[in-house]
Amino acid sequence: MTTGAGHEETGAAGRADTDAGTGTGRRADGSPAAGDGAGADRRTRPYDVVLFGATGFVGELTAAYLAEHAPAEFRWALAGRSAGRLAALRDRLAARWPRCAGLPLVVADCADPGSLRALARSARVVATTVGPYVWYGEELVAACAEAGTDYLDLTGEAEFVDRMYVRHDARARETGARIVHACGFDSVPHDLGVHFTVRQLPEGVPLRVDGFVRAGAAFSGGTFASALTAFGRGRHILRAARERRLYEPRLVGRRARAPLGGPRFSPETGTWALPLPTLDPQVVARSAASLERYGPDFRYRHYASVRTLPMALGGTAAVALGVTAAQLPPVRRWLMSRHAPGSGPSAERRARSWFTVRFVGEGGGRRVFTEVSGGDPGYDETARMLAESALCLALDPLPRTAGQVTTATAMGDALIERLQAAGIRFRVAHRE
């Protein structure tokens, strides 16, 4: 249901060979370039972008960013399950940006697949903040794949990404839908940071890139719930990865890898480097598999960068404790109750937060040091990344892609330029 006046949110790094489908794609005007035409009506749909989960913590930050930065003629809407909370959000936006007073509101619920199908058919792009995605995300992916609607989320859940590839990539290729996961701090700075680094290196040669992540920030209840969910689903994650490998085509004549690596002292950064088994290196490897610019033999390693050995040991122990606690359902439920989804750090705390990802790339006898950096990674910058990704898919001329694709594959340089203009820094620090 849609109204203009009234109507929230429901709430293993390793080898990867491909995440992009190039047999189907889109023209610059947004219509499908191939497939069965399910998305052929995209230009006549009511909305360019619908933000689903708009009343959640990151959802509201994303809505505020769109309210401030979307072009005047841009057609977008707020979506969620509570008409009252959506209306209250619109009122808060309109108090700062009067043009939001007539912003359309769309009521949809993860528990109502019909409402999600209607939502997908109403938009050219749907961006969702509703997680944990392994619990609440699949019906919306399915609806967008069927409708030929571009889909964006903030997931860092490898299990969810792999299951969505197996179940919905093929249909999305047929309809021309681009399914783009991990459009926040997971995994935009890392995926696009590697893309930016590769562009500084020679073409047609084996390339090696290492990424070193540092951040100072608090986390929200939603992020905490997603992390605990992942910690408690180790067997499911491995099963989903194995199933994906059965469906995913293998590269021929090229390699793209993201091995876990081991702890070490990094002389390049002057810090201890601890391997990060997050979704990010998998995303980077899939970008490398789909883009020949990454060379015939590409390897990426992903690390947390820690200044002292005691901090490194303490961080490792904290993660081990979290994984252990997540195996016990009563403990997991108690921990989740301490950080309820929908909550998050204050504006003052976020203003003190920051992130830096440093990359060391080499190949063809050259070496380059690059850096991606910004403010609060989990919320302010994540909202900026999601909103700019939605604007990029809706407005920019982009490569011909369809199916489950990465940010580098789907948007690449166009999204980097948008993020740079928005204040996220991509820079070359040094060349050798």
Strand 425-431 to 366-374 pairing: antiparallel
Look up tokens 């499911």; give the residue: 236
Predicted confidence (pLDDT) at residue 208 exceeds the cutoff of 70: yes
How much is the pLDDT for 11? 34
3-class secondary structure per residue, 175-241: HCCEEECCCECCEHHHHHHHHHHHCCCCCCCCEEEEEEEEEECCCCHHHHHHHHHHHCCHHHHHHHH
Query: Cα–Cα distance between 422 and 221 in angstroms, integer?
Result: 26
Q: The domain spanning residue 125 has which CATH number?
A: 3.40.50.720
CA distance 363 to 197: 11
Share of the chain above pLDDT 90, in %: 69
Does one domain contain both 11 and 105? yes
Q: Do 165 and 34 share a structural domain?
A: yes
In order of 73, 81, 106, the CA distances from 130 in angstroms are 27, 11, 15
Q: Could you tell me which of 141, 144, 185 has the C-alpha nearest to residue 160?
A: 141
Are residues 192 and 149 part of one domain? no
Q: Has residue 338 got a pLDDT over 60?
A: no
Kind and range of the H or E run holding 373: strand 366-374
Residue found under tokens 């060379």? 295
Q: Is the pLDDT of residue 310 over 60?
A: no
Residues 229 and 357 in one domain: yes
Look at residue 232 in the predicted model and tell me its pLDDT. Answer: 64
Model confidence at 204: pLDDT above 90: yes
Tell me how long the chain is.
Answer: 432
Same domain, 296 and 411: no
Give the Cα separation of 162 and 77 in Å (integer): 29
Rounded to whole angstroms, how far apart are CA atoms 402 and 34? 9
Using CA atoms in the order 330, 333, 338, 343, what is the torsion angle rounded to 10 degrees? 180
pLDDT at 236: 86
Q: With cut-offs at 50, 70 and 90, classify the pLDDT of residue 152.
A: very high
pLDDT-derived band at 340, boundaries 50, 70, 90: low
Whole-number pLDDT of residue 330: 63
More confident call, 32 vs 407: 407
pLDDT in tens, 39-78: 457 779 999 999 999 999 999 999 999 999 999 999 999 9
Give pLDDT, residue 32: 42
Please tell me the distance from the alpha carbon of residue 301 to that of residue 317, in angstroms, as a whole number.
Answer: 21
Order across the sheet with 2-3: list the strands: 2-3, 105-107, 76-80, 47-52, 123-128, 150-152, 178-180, 403-405
Are residues 200 and 149 part of one domain?
no
- Please, what is the average pLDDT of the chain? 85
pLDDT at position 196 is: 98
Q: Are residues 98 and 122 in the same domain?
A: yes
How far, in Å, CA of 59 to CA of 270, rounded? 37
Shared domain for 308 and 225, answered yes or no, is: yes
Same domain, 133 and 194: no
Tokens of 144: 């967008």
Q: Which domain holds residue 90?
A: 2-185+381-419
Number of domains in the chain: 2
Would you state the pLDDT for residue 221? Answer: 52
Q: Where is average pLDDT lowest: 22-26, 310-314, 380-384?
A: 22-26
